[in-house]
Amino acid sequence: MRPAPIALPGAAGADARPKPPPRPTYEALRVFARNPSALAGVLLLATILAITIFGPMLMHADPFEIAAAPMEPPGGELLLGSDYLGRDVLTGMIYGGRATLLVGVVAAVLSMAIGITVGALAGYYGGWVDETLMRITEFFQVLPTLLFAMVLVTLFSPSLATIAVAIGVVSWTGTARLARGEFLRLKRREYVLAERVIGAGDARIIWRVILPNALAPLIVSATLAIGTAILFEAGLSFLGLGDPNVMSWGLMIGSNRPYILTAWWAVTLPGAAIFLTVLAVSLIGDGLNDALNPTSRGRA
């Protein structure tokens, strides 16, 4: 089902095609660079990524290894103490960050891919395609997302891949609605209509003409989706649905929660790592919104 071509006066060839409005990349970068909160988020996230990526290369330790007596407080033999089994909390946080961030990024990418595809098709074609896809979106939107993710993880056995897929499958609806709105707004622009006049295919118009001009709000949504996915992973691991063979921040919190009053550091420190990571991603998302949204920059 393809929208009917609309004739444009004077648009007889490729030379007469209206061009898409230029994307103010340098201006957006300048606005982003002048945002202290966004820069703080970038610095914080870069620090966390550096520790979780390069830390294991330098330590060469096993996060599941018994390193000291159980529930040894910070500042003794171990810098951040030990958990209820005697495992090093610092080692667990460094290695656990890899799994948590990996699941968050993969889940966010999957969520964005599903959401953008559904929203783009619904907004571009309209009609029964729009109605069908939006009813499917509403069905997923009213499902209890955490419960649905728990069911998927339980059915297909807990693993990093299963958790990432489960989070991505249950968290794409907001992106779909956002993408649909952008496509509804942009599909009647002159440069899109000109592409139809010269016979461009639907695939080219959707992915190479409209989508690049709809990316600004979708990029912001992607950054926020990463933070949401990290919280989701932590929640599933806290409930015992994480991969028991891979250390993660959520697994550290969940396994040590019965001892929170006697070994608070084993729960508080991984929780603080999750908080700081999500905070950094949120600050970057807010900064991107200010930089990419002309209205927020006062240029509307």
Residues in the chain: 300
Residue 13 binned pLDDT confidence (cut-offs 50, 70, 90): very low
Q: How far apart are CA 121 and CA 127, in angstroms?
A: 11
Q: How far apart are CA 257 and CA 264, in angstroms?
A: 9
Note the pTM of the prediction, 2 decimals: 0.81
Domain 36-58+77-292 fold: MetI-like fold (1.10.3720)
Is it the case that residue 10 has pLDDT exceeding 50? Answer: no
CB 210 within 8 A of CB 202: no
The tens digit of pLDDT for each residue in 157-191 reads 788 888 899 999 988 999 999 999 999 988 888 88
Burial level of 241, CB count in 10 A (0-12/13-18/19+)? buried
3-class state of residue 87 by DSSP: strand
Name residue 126's amino acid. G
Q: In the chain, what are the domain boundaries?
A: 36-58+77-292
Q: How far apart are CA 101 and CA 105, in angstroms?
A: 6
